[in-house]
Amino acid sequence: MTSLRPPVFLALGVAGCAHGPTPDSAAPTDAAARAGITAQHEAWREAIIAGDAARLARLFTDDGVLLSLNGSVAKGRGEVQKVLEDTVRHARYLSGGFTIETVDLQGDLAIEIAAFTWDRSLDGGPPTRPQKGHALAVWHRQPDGTWLLRAWSAKYDPRN
Amino acid sequence: MRHLLSCAVAAGFALACSHGSDAVASAPAASTESVRAAIAANNAEFARAIKAKDTATLTHLFTEDGIFVSPAGGFVKGWAALEPHWVDRLSKATFLDGGITTDSLEVRGDIAVEAARFTWTIQRGDGPPVARTGRALTVWQRGSDGRWRMLADHPEYDPLK
């Protein structure tokens, strides 16, 4: 949180321009980034409970990277979607969601630590009961102001 | 590297002004290859330090407010929390061998996003050494001194086979 160089640079640059940027190209505020990321968390929650891997994959940039729980590193939306299809084939997500732990805004990138809790049914089995975990996410703000995942790595905490 | 940082500032300024190229001279930012080399050197230093239980070096490979998402669960943030974390972790385990290899790297100004793979041979207590593989997502930040440090690191072991 302490490193504010990119926004400061951008602010300096904007100050030096006669016309300034359009609203969508302005440096995002911390609050705006948190709101945008929270909206994507909700989109993720809805998509994974629906078992919709294509919707989940659309939360990634075209060249997004997913470090999955099975040890694979998927690069690009196509590979990411395949991994997510495998995930929702084996796990039905019953309830849960994300909360933001920290966000470090670096220009049009936001580095987030998220906490999550999911109650799942694995391969048709009984609910696992809520399991907690943490994720590191690198979000990239798009020209339309939405935030997409440039990189995502998540894991469940040891049984809690 | 200080020169490179100045260049990044200038480039950022120039990009913010769609018309302005007269007032500020821009210069190319650090090449991806030079960043890759710097991060490979840091990864090698990390491997040396973890094998030597050099907790001070491990800690300072992070930014002052850097975050380590621990394989043991949760996360620790900042040098003041990182150092005791490493002391505790390395009091329970010895990293005998291994290292980190960059899988992919994207550089955006003073930020680099790395996906890496690692292999470690770890001994816990008097137990036998165990070889583990894993992957890590690491966000690096170039400081005002030109050095790349970890802003966030999330390693995770592959499932045991």
Q: For chain B, which residues make up each domain, given as ranges?
A: 1-30, 31-157
pLDDT at A3 over 50: no
Q: For residue A72, what are the CA distances in angstroms to A86, A138, B135, B156?
A: 12, 18, 8, 11
- CATH code given to domain B31-157: 3.10.450.50
- Residues sharing a CB contact under 8 Å with residue B161, sequence separation 6 or more, in sequence order: none
Domains of chain A, by residue range, sit at: 5-156
CB atoms within 10 A of CB B40: 17
How many Cα neighbours within 13 Å face the side chain of A95?
3
pLDDT tens sequence across B107-154: 999 999 999 999 999 999 999 999 999 999 999 999 999 999 999 999
How many Cβ pairs closer than 8 A exist between chain A and B?
Answer: 130
A110 pLDDT higher than 90:
yes
* Tens digits of residue pLDDT in A47-82: 999 999 999 999 999 999 999 877 789 999 999 999
Residue A67 touches partner B, C-beta closer than 8 Å? yes
With H, G, I as helix, E, B as strand and everything else as coil, classify residue A21: coil
Evaluate if residue A98 carries a pLDDT over 50: yes
Q: How many CA atoms lie within 13 A of A40 on its CB side?
A: 28
| B25-62 residue pLDDT tens | 333 567 889 999 999 999 999 999 999 999 999 999 99
Residue A25: per-residue pLDDT: 60
- Give me the helix-helix angle, A5-15 and B2-16, nearest 10°: 50
**Residue found under tokens 């999955």:** A68
Angle (nearest 5°) at CA B49 between B104 and B67: 60
Distance CA(A67)–CA(A31), nearest Å, equals: 27
> Which of A19, A71, A106 has its CB closest to that of B135?
A71
Q: Is A143 part of the contact surface with chain B (CB cutoff 8 Å)?
A: no
For B15-28, what is each residue's pLDDT tens digit? 333 333 333 333 35
Q: For residue B5, what pLDDT is reported?
A: 37
- Checking if the pLDDT of A22 tops 70, the result is no
| Rounded Cα gap, residues B6 and B4, in angstroms | 5
Task: Check A158 against B113: CB less than 8 A apart.
Answer: no
Contacts of A138 in chain B (CB under 8 A): 113, 137, 139
- Tell me which chain B residues have a C-beta less than 8 angstroms from the C-beta of A135: 154
B148 token code pair: 């790349």
- What is the least distance, in Å, from the CA of B12 to any CA of chain A? 6
Of B67, B104, B134, the CB nearest to A102: B67
Could you please state the CATH topology (level 3) that the domain comprising A5-156 is classified under: Nuclear Transport Factor 2; Chain: A, (3.10.450)
Chain B residues close to A63, C-beta within 8 Å: 106
The sheet carrying B111-124 orders its strands as B75-77, B62-69, B148-157, B130-142, B111-124, B93-108
Beta strands in chain B (DSSP E): 62-69, 75-77, 93-108, 111-124, 130-142, 148-157
Task: Determine phi and psi for B41, rounding to 5 degrees.
Answer: -65, -40
Least confident of A19-33, A104-118, B145-159: A19-33
A10 inside 8 A of chain B by CB: yes
